[in-house]
Amino acid sequence: MYRYDEIDARIVRERVEQFRDQTRRFLAGELSEDEFRPLRLMNGLYIQRLAPMLRVAVPYGHLSSRQLRKLAEIARKYDKGYGHFTTRQNLQYNWPALEDVPEILSELAEVEMHAIQTSGNCVRNTTTDAFAGVAADEIIDPRPYCEIIRQWSTLHPEFAFLPRKFKIAVSGSEQDRAATWVHDIGLHVVKTDAGEVGFKVIVGGGLGRTPMIGEVIRDFLPTAHLLTYLDAVLRVYNRYGRRDNKYKARIKILVKAMTREAFAAKVEEEWIHLKDGPATLRAADVEHYASFFTDPAYETLEANPAEFTAKLAEDKAFARWVERNTRGHKQAGYRSVVLSLKKTGVPPGDATDAQMDAVADWADQFGFGEIRVSHEQNLVLPDVRERDLFDLWQLAKAAGFATPNVGLLTDIICCPGGDFCSLANAKSIPVAEAIQQRFDDFDYLHDIGDIELNMSGCMNACGHHHIGHIGILGVDKSGEEWYQVTLGGSQGSGASIGKVIGPSFARAQMPDVIEKILSVYVDTRTEEERFLDTVRRIGIIPFKERVYAKHN
Amino acid sequence: MQNIIKDGAVLAADAWQLVRPDAEGQLSVPDAGDVIVPLSAWLAEPERWASRDGRVAVWLASGDEPAELAASLGKLELVAVDFHAFTDGRGYSIGRLLRERYGFAGELRAIGDVWEDHLHYLWQVGFNAFEIKDGKAVEGALAALGSFTDRYQATYREPQPLFRRHRS
């Protein structure tokens, strides 16, 4: 993984000192609330309902065991002993004291971490596939480019005050596991028949109040031009994006207003002046960054060793966990393990300090000291020998990490909602919990199969409800919390925005509503169909009829 | 109190008078002395400015198009860019365009909601003068120019990005 050199370390330290001084001036009354707000947001600090919230950047979801132990230590020392992993692959602390934040940042800097640009109207943490570098279907490892983008976007002097937040995702695989179609910029690695590597550039996707699937503005951008082209897109957005209405300020609104063709032409016009300039990546530049992401010292192993297959045969629960919570690996004899943070009764994405320490230990013991945060809010151990899976499973089970529900109904993507967030219209965690409690029968869950249920407590869509196969959105109706349901959203290559099925529901109705939706699926599915396929085939009407039927 | 920083030092005196439209949108330009007038006025009355006593400079609002000033840049000693709110970042792109695309070599001054926390960015994109907002410390602003000793990007001040200077 990437390691800081002296300059990276210095820049982060200087940012800590700058923020320390900003905090000091705010507390001394030299900066007003309005002046401090944009400055603290650019460093991930919110003032929340109960306490400040600090969002720590986990660049493209990559953590070392040392970094994860530091996150655990901070949770113990400055917070209430837990943290929340987010859909941007970051970590949030819900209870730090404002006065402690500079010190927390200083501790993070010791392990090459920071909170730079984790909020505010600037370029946010770049995200990618949690299985980058190990996925069996990878075209090119996206991580060197993620790091190049991280550095380019960090404290970029021209783009610190954009019209609105700006999110970039990179996918290096055939299958898009980075939700690139719903980002401000999505980059898909493309390899031509001649072997040339570049990016398909998607712009103007996004969730929030006006969900949209992005538009392709360039089918093939040679990798050398990545940064000059990003500069061109951002400059067009910075100059022409709306600033009069924050709900219309995202780049998607600009692309829509200008049309894809006109926006793309404007970017090209800008790019002519920047193309081939000093920010052009030479082969040696890319090699420098790629040198941090080489394969670890894999052993030469046979796939499916006898001891592993024997355990699979004799232990049904283990087999189920392997089926749901592990993924194929490019290296024979290894698998990637998803540690589920979706245990019933625990807010989705939350992990305690002890759990973080345990995961760090397993990363050292069973892997190469690396952990990934997935945008589905789980943790991933990328490289585990198949022969070690049984031992790891037993440890994970004991620590509450082995719920075999990855990709199933109860693997809910969920924002912190009204329990913590001052923007939320409604609580989300209790709804997730009620659904997890209702559907606690694993045989039923496995029968339902692959399904994505995403929930947000407000229009800002941190829980990505629009791209959930089932989406739940908390809404406020004259001071009461209600929940709107969408069906048919999806991430990935055939990304789509879910459709609202009708009037919203009270919280207590939600488990019943989900049950009725699932019953339509069970009654009408063909043998091969996943839930999403059925929704796409039959449309939302049959679901709507069953859910809103009177006294059936 | 003098509140203009130029090229890393507080100016002892500054002759420029900034002319902003009044509440009705009317401009009242003093008959004598050095003035900074809005882009729209500059473009509308070229003869007036050419025949006037005293120097004339131009300021751009964040929504103005710097290309419209390109033909005049050779005649101007100073161009100012107004930040009506520090969170409106359009002026940063305007600064780079004036310097890098249109080759402006004179004084580029940031005016409006300008104070220490943005100066290092403003300096990087090409501003060399800052009119610090009333009530904000000028000393702190001077120090803030040195908040960061290096940066990743290609900028006006350092056209070579970090990866070309150190890493390959």
Q: Is the pLDDT of residue B1 over 80?
A: no
Residues A395 and A421 in one domain: no
Asked if A280 and A227 touch (Cβ cutoff 8 Å), the reply is yes
Average pLDDT, stretch A32-38? 93
Residue numbers of the domain that contains A377: 306-399
CA distance A465 to B30: 59
Which pLDDT value is given to residue A420?
82
Please choose, from the candidates A292, A392, A285, A289, the residue with its C-alpha nearest in 3D space to the C-alpha of residue A338: A392
Please name the residues between 201 and 240 in chain A that touch chain B, using a CB distance below 8 Å: 227, 235, 238-239
CA distance A307 to A155: 51
Residues A357 and A389 in one domain: yes
Residues A313 and A390 in one domain: yes
Q: Is A277 on the interface with B (CB under 8 A)?
A: yes
Return the domain boundaries, chain B. Answer: 3-164
CA distance B96 to B100: 6
Q: Is B92 on the interface with A (CB under 8 A)?
A: yes
What is the full DSSP assignment across A73-138?
Answer: HHHHHHSSSEEEE-TTS-EEES---GGGHHHHHHHHHHTT---TTSSSSSB---EE-TTTTT-TTB
Per the structure, the count of domains in chain A is: 4
Whether residue A131 is contained in a domain is answered as no
Last residue of a domain, one of A291, A314, A347: A291
Asked if A189 and A139 touch (Cβ cutoff 8 Å), the reply is yes
With tokens 């009620």, the residue in question is A434
- B81: part of which helix (H) or strand (E)? strand B78-83
Give bridge partners of residue A477 from the DSSP assignment. A480
Residues A459 and A530 in one domain: yes
With tokens 């803030």, the residue in question is B144
Whether residue A200 is contained in a domain is answered as yes
Residues whose CB falls within 8 Å of the CB of residue B33, separated by 6 or more in sequence, listed in order: B15, B17, B54
Whether residue A116 is contained in a domain is answered as no
CA distance A362 to A348: 21
CATH number of the domain bearing residue A330: 3.90.480.20
Please choose, from the candidates A356, A271, A420, the residue with its C-alpha nearest in 3D space to the C-alpha of residue A74: A356
CATH 3.40.50.720, domain B3-164, yes or no: no
Which positions in chain B touch A30 (Cβ < 8 Å)? 137
Asked if A87 and A377 touch (Cβ cutoff 8 Å), the reply is yes
In single-letter form, the type of residue at position A438 comes to: R
For A395-427, write each residue's pLDDT tens digit.
999 998 999 999 999 999 998 888 888 888 899
Asked if A19 and A43 touch (Cβ cutoff 8 Å), the reply is yes
For A1-21, write each residue's pLDDT tens digit.
999 999 999 999 999 999 999
CA distance A434 to A451: 17
CA distance A353 to A81: 5
Q: Is the pLDDT of residue A142 over 90?
A: yes
In single-letter form, the type of residue at position A399 comes to: A
Q: How many CB atoms lie within 10 A of CB A200?
A: 17
Which pLDDT value is given to residue B126?
98
Q: Is the pLDDT of residue A51 over 80?
A: no
Residues A265 and A315 in one domain: no
CA distance A250 to A342: 31
Residue B157: helix, strand or coil by DSSP?
coil
For B98-142, write each residue's pLDDT tens digit.
999 999 999 999 999 999 999 999 999 999 999 999 999 898 899
Whether residue A493 is contained in a domain is answered as yes
Q: Is B96 on the interface with A (CB under 8 A)?
A: yes
Asked if A236 and A270 touch (Cβ cutoff 8 Å), the reply is yes
Phi-psi region of A259 (alpha: psi -120 to 50; beta: other; left: phi over 0): left
Q: What is the mean pLDDT of chain A?
A: 94
Least confident interval from A182-186, A338-342, A499-503: A338-342
Give bridge partners of residue A201 from the DSSP assignment. A187, A218
Whether residue A132 is contained in a domain is answered as no
Last residue of a domain, one of A110, A132, A156: A110
CA distance A483 to B55: 64
In single-letter form, the type of residue at position A230 comes to: L
Share of chain A above pLDDT 70, in %: 99
CATH number of the domain bearing residue A189: 3.30.413.10
Helices then strands (H, E): number in chain B?
Answer: 6, 8
Counting beta carbons within 10 angstroms of the beta carbon of residue B31, is it exposed (0 to 12), middle (13 to 18) or buried (19 or more)?
A: exposed
Q: What Rg, from alpha-carbon coordinates, does chain A have?
A: 23
Which pLDDT value is given to residue A50?
64
Whether residue A133 is contained in a domain is answered as no
Whether residue A19 is contained in a domain is answered as yes
In single-letter form, the type of residue at position B110 comes to: A
Asked if B108 and B128 touch (Cβ cutoff 8 Å), the reply is yes
Output the six-digit token pair for A461.
Answer: 């869509």
Which positions in chain B touch A291 (Cβ < 8 Å)? none
Which positions in chain A touch B150 (Cβ < 8 Å)? 7, 10-11
Closest residue, chain A, to B145 (C-alpha): A18
Which pLDDT value is given to residue A347?
84
Asked if A111 and A105 touch (Cβ cutoff 8 Å), the reply is no
Which positions in chain B touch A235 (Cβ < 8 Å)? 93
Go through chain B and tell me how many residues it has: 168
Residues A272 and A316 in one domain: no
Helix runs in A293-418, H state only:
306-314, 316-325, 353-366, 389-398
Decide if A160 and B89 are in contact by the 8 Å CB cutoff: yes
Helix runs in A200-330, H state only:
226-240, 251-258, 260-274, 283-290, 306-314, 316-325
Which pLDDT value is given to residue A49?
65
Average pLDDT, stretch A381-394? 97
Residues A244 and A325 in one domain: no
Closest residue, chain A, to B163 (C-alpha): A285
Strands A470-477, A453-456: pairing is: parallel
Average pLDDT, stretch B33-57? 94
Q: Is the pLDDT of residue A551 over 70?
A: no
Give me the residue from A38, A155, A285 closest to B151, CB to CB: A155
Decide if A5 and B166 are in contact by the 8 Å CB cutoff: yes
For A419-476, write each residue's pLDDT tens digit.
888 888 899 999 999 999 999 898 999 999 999 999 999 988 889 999 999 999 999 9
